[in-house]
């Protein structure tokens, strides 16, 4: 069973930063994996966790670019390793190498993703956004499960998006084999899958102390928008009339420090002890979505039956 989607009224909010959320928490001796940890909110997540003493591993498709970005942090305890979420053999190799070291894994943060890409398929013929945003992370978490168990108190954090409201998972045609491809529908489906993954992972892991969460980080102009036109970006209302980025967290317009906050909160906050399988936003458990569809989570993204169905489908796809 998933936990009830009811705000717990934590002491942070939309304007909180990742540093503020973490406070004086000491993560010495903790091992963390952050996909997408070399750019955007992932990089800020790595910076904050590493400064708190964690050993952080960043899997990346472009290893040199990841190392260059991480080196600029000037922090110890951060290691980049090669992995491509859309290539199952690459995910397998990364996970096998980590497991061979015998270390526990305390935090697994799924921050990598692509958005509104042109229609492409991975090496298996699967639609690229579903493959990268969900299926690669599913395979990674599944293979690393023994390391999460060894931690005796691990968390999995899946970065979803308010974009999940665009579309649920279409189990009849996940990979756009019969319906026309729509880049935003594909993105919305993958973000719904991220949230459903957390529901099912938490159900499986709670008895072993593995809790899972999904979240909306906020609207942040980041490398995630690299496939969008200037007109599409303008439609999001992220710039003022002078072209400067607007920072207005109450309107969901956040900077990178604020965008990383909810993920760090999900990963470390004691307020979530005993809770799991919930979708979060603004450093709190989100309510169910209201009529405007802007805040909260839609039922199709936290439904236990749909989460179980997605888990079974994903396991079959991942082999």
| Residue 222: per-residue pLDDT | 65
Burial class of residue 313 (count of CB atoms within 10 Å of its CB; 0-12, 13-18, 19+): middle
In DSSP terms, which residues pair with 82 in a beta bridge?
60
| Residue 129: per-residue pLDDT | 98
For 98-122, what is the mean pLDDT? 97
pLDDT at 29 over 80: yes
Note whether 284 and 104 are within 8 A (CB).
no
pLDDT at 292 over 70: no
3-class secondary-structure state, position 124: coil
Question: Which of 37-41, 87-91, 129-133, 245-249 is predicted least confidently?
Answer: 245-249
| Residue 76: per-residue pLDDT | 86
Structural domains of the chain in order of their starting residue, each with its CATH number: 18-318 (3.40.50.720)
Residue whose structure tokens are 């400067």: 244
For 270-287, what is the mean pLDDT? 97
For 282-292, what is the mean pLDDT? 88
Q: What band does 1 get if pLDDT is binned at 50, 70 and 90?
A: very low
pLDDT at 2 over 50: no
Q: Which two tokens stand for residue 111?
A: 């921050």
Residues 6+ apart with CB under 8 A from 296: 5, 281, 286, 287, 288, 289, 290
pTM given for the model: 0.94
187 given a catalytic annotation: yes
Q: What is the mean pLDDT of the chain?
A: 93
For the beta carbon of residue 117, count every other beta carbon within 10 angstroms: 16
Q: What band does 293 get if pLDDT is binned at 50, 70 and 90?
A: low
Q: Between β-strands 278-281 and 284-285, what pairing exists: parallel, antiparallel or unpaired?
A: antiparallel
Q: Which two tokens stand for residue 22?
A: 């973490």
Q: Which two tokens stand for residue 83?
A: 């992995």
| Residue 224: per-residue pLDDT | 65
Cα–Cα distance between 143 and 140 in angstroms, integer?
5
pLDDT at 228 over 80: no
Element (H, E) at 213: strand 210-216
pLDDT at 203 over 80: yes
Element (H, E) at 279: strand 278-281
For residue 165, which of 315, 14, 301, 69 has the smallest C-alpha distance? 301
Residue whose structure tokens are 């980025």: 245
Q: What band does 319 get if pLDDT is binned at 50, 70 and 90?
A: confident
| Residue 156: per-residue pLDDT | 99
Report the number of secondary-structure helices (H) and strands (E) in the chain: 12, 8
Note whether 289 and 297 are within 8 A (CB).
yes
- DSSP one-letter string for 137-156: HHHHHHHTHHHHHHTTSEEE
Q: What percent of the chain has pLDDT over 90?
A: 85
Cα–Cα distance between 79 and 246 in angstroms, integer?
33
pLDDT at 242 over 80: no
Cα–Cα distance between 271 and 103 in angstroms, integer?
26
| Residue 243: per-residue pLDDT | 76
Instruction: State residue 18 phi and psi, 5-degree precision.
Output: -60, -40
Residues 6+ apart with CB under 8 A from 158: 110, 137, 194, 195, 197, 198, 201, 212, 213, 214, 215
Cα–Cα distance between 19 and 257 in angstroms, integer?
8
Note whether 211 and 9 are within 8 A (CB).
no
| Residue 82: per-residue pLDDT | 97
Residue whose structure tokens are 């000037």: 74
Catalytic residue (choose from 181, 187, 213, 279): 187
User: Each residue of 60-83: pLDDT tens digit?
Assistant: 999 999 999 999 999 889 999 999
pLDDT at 229 over 80: no
Give the DSSP letter of residue 172. Answer: T
């Amino acid at each position: 069973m998933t936990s009830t989607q009811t705000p717990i009224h934590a002491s942070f909010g939309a304007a909180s930063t990742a540093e503020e959320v973490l406070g004086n928490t000491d993560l010495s001796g903790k091992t963390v994996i952050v996909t997408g940890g070399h750019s955007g909110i992932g990089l800020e997540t790595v910076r904050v966790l590493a400064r708190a003493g964690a050993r952080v591993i960043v899997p990346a498709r472009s290893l040199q670019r990841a190392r260059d970005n991480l080196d600029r942090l000037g922090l110890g305890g951060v290691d980049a390793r090669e992995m491509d979420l859309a290539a199952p053999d690459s995910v397998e190799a990364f996970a096998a190498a980590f497991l061979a070291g015998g270390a526990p894994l305390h935090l697994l943060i799924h921050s990598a993703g692509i958005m509104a890409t042109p229609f492409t398929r991975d090496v298996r013929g699967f639609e690229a956004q579903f493959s990268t945003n969900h299926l690669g992370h599913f395979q990674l978490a599944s293979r690393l499960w023994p390391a999460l168990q060894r931690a005796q108190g691990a968390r999995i954090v899946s970065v979803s998006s308010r974009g999940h409201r665009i579309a649920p998972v279409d189990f009849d045609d996940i990979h756009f084999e019969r319906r026309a491809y729509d880049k935003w529908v594909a993105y919305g489906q993958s973000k719904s899958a991220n949230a459903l993954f957390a529901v099912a992972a938490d159900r499986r892991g709670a008895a072993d102390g593995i809790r899972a969460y999904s979240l909306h980080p906020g609207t942040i102009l980041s490398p995630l928008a690299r496939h969008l036109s200037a007109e599409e970006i303008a439609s999001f209302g992220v710039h003022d009339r002078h072209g400067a980025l607007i920072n207005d967290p109450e309107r969901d317009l956040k900077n990178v420090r604020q965008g990383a906050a909810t993920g760090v909160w999900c990963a470390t906050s004691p307020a979530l002890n005993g809770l799991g399988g919930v979708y979060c936003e603004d450093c709190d458990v989100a309510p169910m979505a209201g009529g405007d569809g802007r805040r909260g989570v839609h039922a199709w993204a936290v439904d236990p039956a749909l989460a179980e169905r997605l888990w079974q489908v994903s396991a079959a796809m991942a082999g």
